[in-house]
Structure 1
Amino acid sequence: MTKATLVVCAQGVETHAGRAALASVVQGVRRETREFDVVDAFVGTQHPDVAEVVAQLPGRRVVVPLTLWHDDEVEARLRHLASALPGVTVAAPIGPDWLLAELGVRRLIEAGARPGDSIVLAAGPAGSVRARHDIAKAARLLSAVWGGRVHVAGDMSGPELAEAIDIARAYQRRVVVSIYALTMSQATSRIGRLGADVVTAPLLSAGAGEPGVISLVLARATARGSSLAMGR
């Protein structure tokens, strides 16, 4: 019996370290599953493009977007694939989720965050109400695992983050920015200039597949009733 194919779909990243981190997730998923053949694909500037990959694959294909919230642009492209090609299912994004919150707390501890610090979750840009809801939920989950209040900034590249840092600073505590992103990008690399005392690393480390992220990908691939769209 031919296996279904799991297409791990990420947004393109600019850095070598970011690409290595994404590759480590794909390798980890491939290592952990016998149910699927596993391939990678991208939405954006990096290749191979998800549309080309999915069109060339036979049989049943499950696309799992490596997004941390419902991203309208990514989902529109994947829905189009699912509607245009038979046998294609698009799973829900991997976040928000408790496993990501636990990973976020690990990054806080690694960065030297302390219980009395003011924490700001930096994510986005969030282009829709649903995306903002997802990011707010991610902040609540991080707060619950961390055990303290977490402020939310829905656009890590704009003035919204600077404003969130200023608000957090009003508590007369150190300000720690928790990066809610899988990999480092141009936007995340600029966060340190906005006045935070500490900035965490992104959720993924280069060359080290995170077990939590790998398990989330597999959970989304096998979940029933949580898909974004179904092919004919």
Structure 2
Amino acid sequence: MRAAHLVTVAHGTRTAAGNEVARALTAGAAARLGWRATTSYVELCAPSFAEVVARAGSPVVAVPLLLSTGYHLRQDLPAAVAAADRDDVRLGRSLGPDRLLASAQTDRLRTAGARPGQPVVMVAAGSTDPAATTDLDAAAHLLAQAWDAPVRLATLSGHGPRLADVVRAGDAVSPYLLATGHFHRKARHEALAAGASVVAEVIGPHSLVVDLVVERALALALRAVGVPA
């Protein structure tokens, strides 16, 4: 049977450290799976998803490192698969919402010094896609369950309230962002300006996110003919 080729696809950022998060997650998942793996990006960093899919070995299991549904998942990535003219590419859905991400967020909150029961504002990049809003609401609900305290949602762009309108003095803020970059810097600055007492780090290459990538890759492999799971 043919071995799978794991292709992850992150958004991409001009911040080098942010792009390293995708590479670390990909390497961690590949080591666990024993598969070949390549990291790709939607924009702002090379190689692009379209380039990788066009030349990757087959069959391809593509796991988006994107936290919510949006234009890239609905349009860009399916278009790249179609343009490659291959029938051996399995493209997954967004990583979130998922309980493993919520658990990783609670770890980041504790590490940043948030107190048990402290109210939290979850801040996301945001989108104009209504489906993304549904995803973010679900992610905030999962975080509230994992943190066992109230969680309110804010976004940095697109639909949804802004941090200045949501954060209350003494709140903790949990960035619903996978990697550092422009949105991370913006979230931290605006959260502290609004009175937050704690701002956690981005989710990053947390071991639980590696678990999630592996889980998604195996589920996609089961749908691909001839790929050992």
Q: TM-score range by the shorter chain?
A: 0.7 to 0.9
- In 1, Cα distance between equivalents of 2:74 and 2:46: 18
After TM superposition, the structure 1 = structure 2 runs for residues 26-105 of structure 1, keeping only pairs within 5 Å, are: 26-34=26-34, 36-84=35-83, 85-86=85-86, 87-105=88-106
After TM superposition, the structure 1 = structure 2 runs for residues 87-126 of structure 1, keeping only pairs within 5 Å, are: 87-126=88-127
Equivalent position of 2:186 in the other structure: 190
Distance apart, 1:88 and its partner CA: 1.4
After TM superposition, the structure 1 = structure 2 runs for residues 181-220 of structure 1, keeping only pairs within 5 Å, are: 181-194=177-190, 195=194, 196-204=196-204, 209-220=205-216
Distance apart, 1:46 and its partner CA: 0.3
Which blocks of at least 5 consecutive residues in structure 2 are unaligned?
A: 224-229
- In 1, Cα distance between equivalents of 2:64 and 2:81: 13
- In 2, Cα distance between equivalents of 1:226 and 1:183: 29
Equivalent position of 2:9 in the other structure: 9
Instruction: Give the partner amino acid of 1:2.
Output: R
More relative contact order, 1 or 2 (CA 8 Å, 6+ apart): 1
CA RMSD of aligned residues (A): 2.2
Equivalent position of 1:163 in the other structure: 165
Assess, with a 3 A threshold, how the Cα gap between structure 1 residues 31 and 58 changes in structure 2: closer, same or farther: closer
Q: Secondary structure at the match of 2:128?
A: coil
Quick one: percent identity of the two aligned structures? 31
- In 2, Cα distance between equivalents of 1:58 and 1:137: 35
Distance apart, 1:39 and its partner CA: 0.9
Equivalent position of 2:227 in the other structure: none
Assess, with a 3 A threshold, how the Cα gap between structure 1 residues 43 and 224 changes in structure 2: closer, same or farther: closer
Given that 1:132 and 1:154 are in contact with CA atoms closer than 8 Å, whether structure 2 keeps it comes out as: no
1:24 lines up with 2:24 in the alignment: yes
TM-score normalised to structure 2 length: 0.86
TM-score normalised to structure 1 length: 0.85
Distance apart, 1:80 and its partner CA: 1.2
Given that 1:92 and 1:226 are in contact with CA atoms closer than 8 Å, whether structure 2 keeps it comes out as: no
Given that 2:102 and 2:143 are in contact with CA atoms closer than 8 Å, whether structure 1 keeps it comes out as: yes
Which blocks of at least 5 consecutive residues in structure 1 are unaligned?
A: 228-232
Which digits, 9 at most, give the CA deviation of each residue in 1:42-90, with x for residues without a partner?
1011000110111012321111100111122243111113333221111
